[in-house]
Amino acid sequence: MIVDLPDTTTSNITKQIVKMREQGGVVTLGRVLTLVVITQNGLEEDAITAANLASREHPCRIIVLAAGSPDEPTRLDGEIRVGGDAGASEVIVLRGYGELAPESESLVSALLLPDAPIVAWWPNGAPESASESPVGRIAHRRITDSANQADPREALKHIAETYRAGDTDLAWTRLTNWRIQLAAVLDQEDSAGPVTALHVEGASDSPSTLLLAAWLHRALGVPITVAEDPRGTGIRRVIMKRATGNVELHRPGTLEAILTQPGQPQQQISLPRRSLQDCLAEELRRLDPDEVFGEVVTLGVKKLLAEEKVVTA
């Protein structure tokens, strides 16, 4: 069910939610957090869909700030979605115009669940500093997505410069399965000998490629090269060089990867690109700072770029 509240106020929206709750259409019991999505009018539906699917694992209240044109007369249009239109959550869409177009803490404060953690998510454009933005200042976790920026590499460098504990980026979350597979290979280091050099290959517009390279470079401290593939191909290949033979994890497409190790038959590994809802659901599982991401983005990426290890394939 969707209830439209044109030219309204947050007070009227709160009253409508209470009314719907009394009628049995909205239940807040069991909501574990408030997810605030900051986006633009017309770009909100993909984010709402992903948040609805993620809410089946993490029941929450979803507040969407969909900024309208600042040049239009000041007004606030509200929308409440419950039931089949809201997954295991309730969705409140706020479309601000004029003076209400910019991101604002005051618009969301009256709608936050009491005593529940707050997660802020910018699915499209990231703020100048996530932790210093109006909503970011009150959030326990702050999620950006550098892959959706005009220049993903510059966006990642900017995140490194402005990082505060509690910040994260979905480019890092997309690496989880790659890191699991590579960590399993590294566990065999004692018997196979140490890694002496690294080669990482991925798309030029993939911040995940840089983060993966920075993670490996920081963990192993060996020489590394990062080769750029055409845009849109994502992470393609990791080669770990050892005296006993190279280990290669190669994903030629978007679904499966091939793991090659000395003295062993090739293995086909399921390694599909992760969906937006999968990445968001993973981030909502933890509300404490991701210290590994913090170290990789602030120290690993900076060192990698300073050493000019990124080359064009």
In a domain, 203, yes or no: yes
The answer to whether residues 113 and 202 belong to one domain is no
The answer to whether the pTM exceeds 0.85 is: yes
Same domain, 62 and 120: yes
Q: SS3 letters for 209-261?
A: HHHHHHHHHHHHCCCEEEEEECCCCCEEEEEEEECCCCEEEECCCCCEEEEEC
Determine the Cα–Cα distance for residues 274 and 268; give it in Å rounded to an integer: 18
Residues 210 and 255 in one domain: yes
Residues 139 and 56 in one domain: yes
Q: Is residue 161 part of a domain?
A: no
Per-residue pLDDT of the chain (313 residues; tens, 9 = 90+): 889 999 999 999 999 988 887 776 555 556 789 999 999 999 999 999 999 999 888 889 999 999 999 999 999 999 999 876 666 678 999 999 999 999 999 999 999 998 899 999 999 988 999 999 999 999 999 999 999 998 988 999 999 999 999 999 999 999 999 999 999 988 875 566 789 999 999 988 899 999 999 999 999 999 999 998 888 778 999 999 998 899 999 999 889 999 999 888 999 999 999 999 999 999 999 889 999 999 999 999 988 877 755 554 4
Q: Domain range holding 207?
A: 176-312
* Same domain, yes or no: 26 and 135: yes
Q: Does any domain span residue 165?
A: no
Shared domain for 213 and 305, answered yes or no, is yes
Instruction: Give yes or no: residues 136 and 222 share one domain.
Output: no
Closest to 279 in 3D by CA, of 189, 148, 181, 115: 148
> Is residue 260 located within the same domain as residue 195?
yes
Q: Is residue 30 part of a domain?
A: yes
Buried b (16+ CB within 10 A) or exposed e, 167-200: bbbbbbbbbebbbebbeebbeeeeebeebeebbb
The CA distances from residue 155 to 137, 169, 215, 274, 304, in Å, are: 20, 10, 18, 21, 15
Contact 21, 50 (CB under 8 A): no
In the structure encoding, which two tokens stand for residue 307, read together? Answer: 């050493």
